[in-house]
A and B are shown apart, each in its own frame.
Chain A
Amino acid sequence: MAGGYLAARLAVGYLARRYLIVAGAEYLLLGILLGPQVSGLISSNVVDSFGPFITLAIGWMGAVIGAEFHLPQLLRVRGATYQTAFLEALLTTAVVAGAMLLALVWLLDVPQQAAVAPALVLGTIAVTTSSSGIALAVRRLAREGAARTPLLRQLQITGGMDAVVAIVTFTLLLCLTHPAPPSTIRPPTPTEWAVITIAIGVVGGILYHLFLGGEQNPDRLFIALAAAIALASGTAVYARLSPLLPTMLIGAILINTTRNRAPIADVLHRVQRPLYLVLLLFAGAAWRPSAQGWVWPILIYLFVRPVAKLGAARLAGRLSGTGRELGPDWGQALIGQGSLAVAIALNYRIFDSSSLPHLVFTAAIASVLLTDFLSARLVRGAVQRHRRRQAEAA
C-alpha cells in the first residue's frame, strides 16, 4: 500500500507539474487496484472500519463547498451569471437523468419506478464539475498573464452552482426515498426529513458560530471544526441523510457570520486534500462491479454526460443572454468531474442497497477517472479557444 502510494504520488506529481494534469484521481485507481476486487491488499473489513473517516471526508467536502459562499463576494456577481449557471445545471440534470432512465428501463429491464432513483442520482452526479480543475486552470492562466475574463468568472460560479444543485437534488431524493426508522411512533414525511436535514446544518452552523467565538488559533480551530463536521456528518448519516447539505450549510454560516473567516477557510482547505485522498482511496477500494449488465449503461452515461454539458451550457448561455460573451462551447470547460461526484455516488451506495448502487458508483468513478486528470486542460483549452475567437472577431 505504501509502495503504491509512493508510486502514484511520484508519477502523477511529475505529470501534474509538467502537463497541467489534476492530481488526485490516481488514488481512486490505486484504491481499486489494492481493494478486494483486484489484489485484496485492502480487505472489505478494512474498508468498513474506515467508514467513519469516509463519512467525515464527505462531510468535510460539504463544508469546504459551503465556505466558498461568502455573500458579500457573491453579491458582486451580476444576476445573468447565476441564471446561466443555474440553467446549465438544471438542463444537464434533466437530460442525463432522462437518458439514463430510458437506458436502465430498456437495457436492463428495470421497472420504471425502480429506475427513477438511480437515474436521478446519475443526473445529479453528471452536474458536478471538477472544482480543482477550474481552480488550477485559473491559477495557471493568471500566472500566464491572462486577465480575469467573464468566462473565467462564469466557470467559477458555474462550478459552485453545479455543486449546490447536485447536493440539494441528491438530498431531496434521499428524503423522498427515506425508509421509516425502526424506533419512531410515526415515520417522518419526506418534507420533515428535508426540514431535519436543513435543521442539522442551520442549528449546527449557529451553535458552532457561538462556540468558536473569536477563536484564531489554527490548532484549536482545527479541533473544533473537526468536531463540528464529524458531529453533523455523523448525525446526518445516522439518520440516513446525506451529510453534504448540513455541512455545506455549516460552512456557509460560519464563513458569513464569524470574524475569523480567513483562518476557518484556511483550516478547511488544509485538511480537505488529505481527506479527499483518503476518500478516493477507499472509494476505489469499495468498488464492486454491478451484478447486472453494467457496461452499456455506463458507456451511455459517459457519452451522454459531456454531450449534455456542452448542449446545456450553450442553451443556458443563449437563454440568459450571455451566449455571445461566453462563446458556443464554453461547456467544454465543465466536462471534468472530481471529488463531489465520487462523494455523492459513495453516499448513495452506503444507503441504497437495492436500486443499482454499484452501477451508479461505477459510472461515477469511470467518469472521474476519464475526465478529472484532464479537467484543467479542458478549461484552459476552452478559455484559449474563446480568446482566439474574440481576437479574430475584433
Chain B
Amino acid sequence: MRRAVILLVVFALVDLVRPLGSSGYGAQALLAFGFLVLAAYTVGEIAKSIHAPAIVGYMAAGVIFGPVGLEALSHETVVRLQPVSALAVALIAFLAGAELRWEEVRERWAALLKVTGTELALSALALGLTLFLAGPYIPFLRDATTVELVAVAVLVASIAIVHSPAVTMALLTETRAHGPVARTTLGVVLISDVVVVMLFSGALALVRSLVPVSGAAGPGVLAIVWEISGALIVGGVLGAGIALYLRFVAEELFLFALLVAFLGAEVARLTHVETLLTLLTAGFIAENFSPPARGQALRHAMERSAAPVFVVFFALSGAEIDVMTVVRLLPLLVPLALVRVGAIWAGTRLGGRWAHLPQEERRWLWMGLVSQAGVAIGLAAIVAEVFPGFGEGLRSMLLALIALNESVGAVLFRRALVASGEYVPGAAATPEPDDSRLSAPGSS
C-alpha cells in the first residue's frame, strides 16, 4: 500500500515536470521506462500479495497507466520502447534454450512430440469448427461466404492454438519451479511455437487456394523453410561463438548477456530468420557446449539483466491491450476461450496418456498451456492483411483473445505449479538440479 501511494505521488510529480521540458535524446522514453518499471513493480507486488503472478500485475500496470488508462504512456512512447520488448523476446528465447539439456531432449523428444501433436490437433480442430459454426452470428463475419468462413476458421485456428514462451519463462523465472510439470510445459510450449509457424504457413497457402487474398500478405513456402532452417543454422553459429567465449574468456558476463541478446535479435532480423528459434538454438548450443559452471553463470547474468526488461515487456503488453475492445467482444471471446481451454485439457490428457506421462503431469499440464502472446500477435497482423473486408474485425478479436488468454493463462500456470507442489508460495526456491533439468517421463 505504501508503495502504491508513493507511485501515485511520483505520477503527480512527473505530471508537474511535463510543461518544463521537451523530448529529445530519448528523455521521454527513459522517463516512461523508469515510471513503467516502478508502476509495474508496485502493481506486481500487489498481485503477488493476492496470490496472482507478478506478470499479471505488470500487465495491469500497463493497462492502468497506458494510453487507454491514465495516459502516463502515450502511443508514441509505447512504440519508442519497442526495442525493449524485442530485447525481452531475445532474452526469453535464449534462456528457454539454455534450460534444455541434450541428454534430456534425446530422452523426452518422443513424449513431448506426442503431447504437443495431440494437443495442437485437437485445439485447432475444436477452434476451427467453433468459428465455422458460429461465423454467421459474428457481426463482422455475417456477410462472409462459406468458403471464406472455412478460410477464416483455418487461419484463426492456426493462430489461436499458439502458446506463450514469454509467459512460461517469466513464470518459471519468478517461481524458480523446475519439476516435471514445469519442464513438460516448457518443452511443449517451445515445440509448439516452431510447429505453429509452419502450420500457419500451410494454412495460409490453403487459404490462398480457396479465396483470392489481397496483396502479397504472408510469406511464401521457401521463405518459411528458410525462416525455420536458417534460424537453426544462424542460432547454431551464434551458440558456438558464445560457447567459445565462455570457454576462453568468460568475463563481463552481464554485458555479454545483453550483447548476445541484441546481437542475436539483430542477426535474425538481417538474415530474415525466426528470432525466437534463433536465440533458442543459440541458448541450447551455448549451454550444452560450455563448461557447466560458466554456462550457469551466463544464465544467471541473463536472468538478472532480464528482470527489469521482463517487467517492461509485460507492462508494454498491458499498455497495448485495448480494454474497450476486449469488453465489447467479451460475449464472443468467452465461448472461444472456453472451447480452447477445453481442447487443451482434452489434448493434454489424451496425449499424456499416449506418451505415458505420469498421472500428476497429465493432470496439471493443460493449465500451463493456456497463455498466449508474442508470435500470435504478429500472425494476427498477417490475417488482417489477408482479408481486407473483415480483417480488422478478425485482428481485434484475435488480439482481445490473446490478451484474455495471456492474463488468465499466467494465473492458471501459477496455480498448476502450486497444485503440483513444484512451487510453494513464500518458500525459498529449491536449488536447481545441475544435471537433470528436464526430468524423464515417469521419473516423478
Q: Would you call B6 and A207 a contact (CB within 8 A)? A: yes
A203 in contact with B13 given A9-B251, A181-B20 (CB within 8 Å): yes
Q: Would you call B34 and A231 a contact (CB within 8 A)? A: yes
Q: Provide the residues of chain B in CB contact with A49, threshold 8 Å.
A: 26, 83
Partner of B255, one of A228, A232, A274: A274
Residue A6 at the chain B interface, CB threshold 8 Å: yes
**Distance from B41 Cβ to chain A, minimum over Cβ atoms (Å):** 5
Partner of B241, one of A2, A188, A213: A2
| A230 to B83 CA separation, bound complex (whole angstroms) | 16
Q: Would you call B254 and A234 a contact (CB within 8 A)? A: no
Q: Would you call B22 and A238 a contact (CB within 8 A)? A: yes
Contact with A along B278-312 (1 / 0, CB 8 A): 00000000000000000000000000100110010
Residue A13 at the chain B interface, CB threshold 8 Å: yes
| A238 to B26 CA separation, bound complex (whole angstroms) | 9
Q: Which A residues are within 8 Å of any B CB, using their own CB? A: 1-2, 5-6, 9-10, 13, 48-56, 181-184, 188, 196, 200, 203, 207, 210-211, 213, 219-220, 222-224, 226-235, 237-240, 270-271, 273-274, 277-278, 350
Residue of B nearest to A184 (CB): B19
Residue of B nearest to A56 (CB): B30
| A183 to B22 CA separation, bound complex (whole angstroms) | 9
Q: Provide the residues of chain B in CB contact with A219, threshold 8 Å.
A: 304, 307
**Distance from B87 Cβ to chain A, minimum over Cβ atoms (Å):** 11
**Distance from A357 Cβ to chain B, minimum over Cβ atoms (Å):** 13
Q: Provide the residues of chain A in CB contact with B263, threshold 8 Å.
A: 1-2
6 pairs of residues in contact across A and B, judged by CB atoms under 8 Å: A1-B263, A51-B26, A52-B33, A181-B21, A235-B17, A240-B21
| A235 to B22 CA separation, bound complex (whole angstroms) | 10
Size class of the B contact interface (CB-based, 8 Å): 35 or more
Q: Would you call B27 and A234 a contact (CB within 8 A)? A: yes
Residue of B nearest to A207 (CB): B6
Residue B29 at the chain A interface, CB threshold 8 Å: yes
Partner of B308, one of A52, A223, A239, A278: A223
Q: Would you call B30 and A55 a contact (CB within 8 A)? A: yes
Contact with A along B1-27 (1 / 0, CB 8 A): 011001001100110010111111111
**Distance from B138 Cβ to chain A, minimum over Cβ atoms (Å):** 41
Q: Provide the residues of chain A in CB contact with B83, threshold 8 Å.
A: 49
Q: Would you call A227 and B251 a contact (CB within 8 A)? A: no
| A52 to B295 CA separation, bound complex (whole angstroms) | 30
Residue B338 at the chain A interface, CB threshold 8 Å: no
Q: Would you call A183 and B19 a contact (CB within 8 A)? A: yes
Q: Would you call A13 and B251 a contact (CB within 8 A)? A: yes
**Distance from A91 Cβ to chain B, minimum over Cβ atoms (Å):** 33
**Distance from A56 Cβ to chain B, minimum over Cβ atoms (Å):** 6
Q: Would you call B30 and A213 a contact (CB within 8 A)? A: no
Residue of A nearest to B36 (CB): A227
Residue of A nearest to B258 (CB): A274
Q: Provide the residues of chain A in CB contact with B31, threshold 8 Å.
A: 230-231, 234-235, 238
What secondary structure prevails in chain B residues at the interface with A?
A: helix
Q: Provide the residues of chain B in CB contact with A232, threshold 8 Å.
A: 34
Residue B324 at the chain A interface, CB threshold 8 Å: no
Residue of A nearest to B33 (CB): A230
| A48 to B24 CA separation, bound complex (whole angstroms) | 10
Q: Would you call A6 and B26 a contact (CB within 8 A)? A: no
Partner of A2, one of B10, B33, B37, B259: B259
| A1 to B252 CA separation, bound complex (whole angstroms) | 16
Residue of A nearest to B305 (CB): A274
Of the listed residues A56, A183, A238, A271, the one surrounded by the most CB atoms of chain B closer than 10 A to its CB is A238
Q: Would you call A207 and B19 a contact (CB within 8 A)? A: no
| A273 to B252 CA separation, bound complex (whole angstroms) | 8
Q: Provide the residues of chain B in CB contact with A227, threshold 8 Å.
A: 34-35, 37-38, 41, 308
Residue B420 at the chain A interface, CB threshold 8 Å: no
Q: Provide the residues of chain B in CB contact with A13, threshold 8 Å.
A: 249, 251
Q: Provide the residues of chain B in CB contact with A240, threshold 8 Å.
A: 21-22
Q: Would you call B17 and A55 a contact (CB within 8 A)? A: no
Q: Provide the residues of chain A in CB contact with B25, threshold 8 Å.
A: 48, 51, 54-55, 237, 350
Q: Would you call A238 and B308 a contact (CB within 8 A)? A: no
| A364 to B207 CA separation, bound complex (whole angstroms) | 62
| A277 to B38 CA separation, bound complex (whole angstroms) | 25
Residue of B nearest to A209 (CB): B6
Q: Would you call B6 and A228 a contact (CB within 8 A)? A: no
Q: Provide the residues of chain B in CB contact with A238, threshold 8 Å.
A: 17, 20-23, 27-28, 31
| A238 to B34 CA separation, bound complex (whole angstroms) | 13
A223 in contact with B9 given A181-B22, A210-B2, A277-B255 (CB within 8 Å): no
Q: Provide the residues of chain A in CB contact with B390, threshold 8 Å.
A: none
Q: Would you call A188 and B307 a contact (CB within 8 A)? A: no
Q: Provide the residues of chain B in CB contact with A210, threshold 8 Å.
A: 2, 6
Q: Would you call B34 and A223 a contact (CB within 8 A)? A: no
Q: Provide the residues of chain A in CB contact with B35, threshold 8 Å.
A: 227, 231
Residue of B nearest to A187 (CB): B20
Q: Would you call A6 and B245 a contact (CB within 8 A)? A: yes
| A190 to B16 CA separation, bound complex (whole angstroms) | 18
Q: Would you call A223 and B27 a contact (CB within 8 A)? A: no
Q: Would you call B308 and A222 a contact (CB within 8 A)? A: yes
| A176 to B182 CA separation, bound complex (whole angstroms) | 59
Q: 10 new A-B pairs (CB below 8 Å) besides A13-B251, A51-B29, A277-B252?
A: A52-B29, A211-B38, A223-B41, A223-B307, A234-B34, A235-B31, A237-B24, A238-B22, A239-B21, A273-B252
